[in-house]
A and B are shown apart, each in its own frame.
Chain A
Amino acid sequence: MSGTALDPRTAPTFPMAALTAMGDTQLRKNVRHATDVIQAKRARVVNEMPDWQALRESGKQIRQHTMEHLDYYLEEFEKNCTAAGGVVHWARDAAEARQIIVTLVKGLGATEVIKIKSMTTEEIQLNTALEAAGVHAYETDLAELIIQLGHDQPSHIVVPALHKNRQQIREIFKREMNLPELGESPQDLADAARTFLREKFLRVKTGVSGANFLIAETGGVCVVESEGNGRMCLTLPETLITVAGIDKVVPRFADLEVLLQLLPRSATGERMNPYNSVWTGVDVNGDGPKAFHVILMDNARTEILGDLEGRQTLNCIRCGACQNACPVYRQTGGHAYGSVYAGPIGAILTPQLQQMHHSQSLPYASSLCGACYEVCPVKINIPEVLIHLRNKVVKQNGMLNPEALAMRMMGIIFKSEGKFRAAQRLGRMAEAPLVRKDGRGQGWIGWLPGLLGGWTQVRDLQSMPEETFRDWWEKRESSKKQGVPRG
């Protein structure tokens, strides 16, 4: 993976990107190992909660209610954040959000910013825009730092460097931090990152963050993390700029009681995040930043809100549990999804963020096994949304392609028993030249043409038996009537 940002508009289709990713043995081993470890941790801390299902339901209700009244809660957030001394900006899309941030940073005369891990800033490719404006962004989250120094791209929304193992990380640090003697224990790597970052924390005067939640009732912004580097970014700079999708709002502070139980257990398998920061405006006479900006970004979220079936996508609290549980993600890793949002959530979110103009292969990047829905802490029915989006893609593609024609024909066949029986007979005749018998006399097909070739790539297909079930049944019924003993 190169340093070019993941961009759904130019990304190859999922099957093509998956083919490339699956050629990387090291990546596949890393992804399998990491997702196994996180899943096991999650299962442990979820199973110890007797009220987990009730909590999930509450989480869903909170998110659903918020989405139904999003306009109200956003305005309430704006009012309360402003009253606390924050400055609220509204951005219609990624370009507007980037422009607001670049203008703010340039206005401060800054040439550097420190950043907290934020997928929203990845979504809008903020670092590239800052770089173009002559501002260098330092990622301070350990995983994001690995990605940045490795000229790589995030492959997971919670653990962006999930596809790298410790040896690979050591290589990156050795090279980029110029540490030829660097050891390979987790402690050595953490120490190297700490030394590298500490100096930036103390020097850089502007921080950029995302948000886990925006609290309408108080105007506060909440970020949870494991390392404490985020808190450094929130407290040390003079100016703090937060960018968040409008879907991040929650009505009340008390809602965190539910969400901050669901999120850490689902995300990292921790009972609680080591660092939970909530900041509300500024205190000009006290500690912390003296100026605080929040950019509330739409970027297609209102369109998603307008689609009753797709809407539940916005309930997502970005825990990444669906990614860890997904058997498809397990094989390909995150980059194959061509977006910072990979895995099941990416498969439903990315095409919708692109307003169905790009990423049309993503809704099909799932076997609909439902493992994602099962673990989702806010009960997003991902398979249902995938099917809904597939329907949109089918409508876009029209009825004149081979798949659509075949599907339409099957639709007609299933509408009549007579046509169905005729199709069964025809199928038996058509397959006959391809069938080879095995030692038991069972017929097998080892090669199929066209669209079905994907099947016989690694699988044989059992040939159609001489008699369908309904033929057998009919014979049996008529012999019963004629009084012939059945055998």
Chain B
Amino acid sequence: MSRQISGRPVLRVSLFITCYNDTLFPNTGKAVVRVLERLGHTVDFPAGQTCCGQMHWNTGYQAEALPLLSRFVEQFRGAEAVVVPSSSCVAMMRDHYPKMAEELADVKLKAEVAELLPNVYEFSEFLTKRLGLEDVGAYYPHRVTYHASCHGLRNLGLGDGPQRLLKAVRGIDLVEIAGLEQCCGFGGTFAVKNAEVSSAMLAEKTTAILNTKAEACTACDNSCLMHIQGALHRQRTGVQTVHLAEILAGDEVGA
């Protein structure tokens, strides 16, 4: 028997929090749980999960990344839907996992990856594409600008999905940033290996954010936000960064 919420089936969502959100941004995870449960879905959290392997893979440490693939598959095998609040980690999985399975020459793993991947969603993508939602019943009375993280924009093709979710938030004052499609300069280990160039790219991004006069900058990826926030705080701008899920989790007090 499958349960329904206003005609839609109730899904059992498996949350892949990702290593850095687990460690540094637990509030994002809590917000994802809040939104999904508020929509009537159930959430589970496979305890043995760690990291998707993106940092290793993108820096050139392929041998270290490979074992993380089978770990992911073991943890999420058979999941109805896997939701990940990090666009770059989803891009890592979608763009590289099939090839990694190929490289491991493991036929069974390859088949499992092929079966699992279509059910892996970036958080906003899950809401807009899988659930077909725009209004998730959120309230967030602040001036906000949206930063389109490169992996979400180009690798996942999120398009204006995140902005549509934001527009439906009650009380929000959403302002568009200049140079929306321009990279913020994070790039994982790029930020330390090419710190000078990364900083210059970041300066352009924070300038654009400050020009919007927003109180907060949001995105679908805390890694970009951590980098942006680092500079906004260093300059004591008072402007915050906040993951999209945390905005969508906002409730109207007493509503």
Contact = CB atoms under 8 A, between A and B. Distances in A.
Interface of A: 14-15, 18-19, 22, 327-328, 331-332, 363-371, 373-374, 384, 387, 389-394, 404, 407-408, 410-411, 413-417, 420, 424, 427, 438, 444, 446, 451-455, 457-462, 464-465, 467-474
Contact of A459 (B60, B95, B231): B231
Contact of B56 (A365, A367, A407): A407
A327 B182 contact: yes
A410 B56 contact: yes
9 contacts: A327-B182, A331-B197, A331-B200, A387-B60, A393-B60, A415-B67, A417-B47, A444-B233, A459-B230
A328 B201 contact: yes
Q: Which 6 A-B pairs have the closest CB atoms?
A: A367-B187, A459-B230, A390-B60, A454-B195, A411-B64, A369-B183
A465 B26 contact: yes
A432 to B, nearest CB: 15
Interface string B170-184: 000000000001110
Contacts of A391: 60-62
B154 A369 contact: yes
Contact of A327 (B185, B193, B229): B185
A382 to B, nearest CB: 12
A50 B166 CA distance: 30
Contacts of B19: 414, 420
Contact of A470 (B17, B203, B229): B17
A384 B92 CA distance: 11
Contacts of B196: 15, 18-19, 22
B194 interface: yes
Given A391-B60, A454-B191, A371 B181 contact: yes
Contacts of B182: 327
B51 interface: yes
Interface of B: 17, 19, 21-30, 33, 45, 47-51, 53, 55-65, 67-68, 71, 95, 150-151, 154-155, 181-183, 185-203, 226-227, 229-231, 233-234
Given A367-B198, A468-B22, A472-B29, 18 more contacts: A328-B194, A364-B190, A366-B190, A368-B187, A368-B188, A373-B154, A390-B59, A391-B61, A391-B62, A407-B56, A407-B61, A410-B64, A411-B63, A413-B50, A457-B195, A460-B230, A462-B230, A469-B22
B194 A370 contact: no
A373 B48 CA distance: 35
B197 A462 contact: no
A408 B61 CA distance: 8
A328 B48 CA distance: 38
Contacts of B199: 457-459
Contacts of B195: 15, 454-455, 457-458
B245 to A, nearest CB: 12
A156 to B, nearest CB: 17
Contacts of B29: 469, 472-473
Contacts of B67: 411, 415
B23 A468 contact: yes
Contacts of A369: 150, 154, 183, 187
Contacts of B183: 327, 367, 369, 371
B58 A387 contact: yes
Nearest to B22: A469
A467 B198 contact: no
A176 B94 CA distance: 56
A15 B154 contact: no
Nearest to A370: B154
Nearest to B229: A462
A476 B201 CA distance: 41
Given A370-B150, A393-B60, A464 B194 contact: no
A426 B168 CA distance: 41
Contacts of B186: 367
Given A369-B183, A373-B154, A427 B200 contact: no
Contacts of B24: 462, 464-465
A470 B24 CA distance: 11
Contacts of A371: 150, 154, 181, 183
A451 B192 CA distance: 7
Nearest to A15: B194
A469 B30 contact: yes
A327 B234 contact: no
Contacts of A464: 23-24
A19 B61 CA distance: 26
Given A387-B58, A414-B68, A457-B195, A327 B201 contact: yes
A328 B182 CA distance: 11
